[in-house]
Amino acid sequence: MIPENYFIHHVYFWLKEPNNQQAHAALHEGLQALSKVPQIKSFHIGVPASTNRNVIERSYHFSWLAIFENLTDEEIYQTHPIHLRFIETCGHLWEKVVVFDSVSPSK
């Protein structure tokens, strides 16, 4: 279980060249390098599951889930050199990125 006060950062990527295996490999490698940002408590690199119901979004090519202890750590991540290098070296690979950030609801 993820502690209630943690900050969840979930990013979905759509590749410019979805059938290009080199692009897949490069983005996957970039996401693995991104996981080295020290403020990240846990992470997951994913691709669409084989589930197929009308409520499931499967058009993306990669997902990146990063869990931070708090908003401050996520803000540090945003300007961390590893994150900036990821954007610089991998940004040409995607045509679309969608970010979902979430925190626990107030009680």
Write the CATH number of the domain with boundaries 7-49+58-102.
Answer: 3.30.70.100
Burial of 26 (0-12, 13-18, 19+ CB in 10 A): middle
Residue percentage of the chain with pLDDT more than 90? 91
pLDDT tens, position by position, 31-57: 999 999 999 999 999 999 999 999 999
Question: Could you give the CA distance from residue 25 to residue 8 in angstroms, rounded to a whole number?
Answer: 25
In the predicted model, is pLDDT for residue 64 greater than 70? Answer: yes
Any idea where the domains of the chain sit in the sequence? 7-49+58-102
pTM score, whole prediction: 0.94
Of 12, 82, 85, which Cα lies nearest the Cα of 40?
A: 82
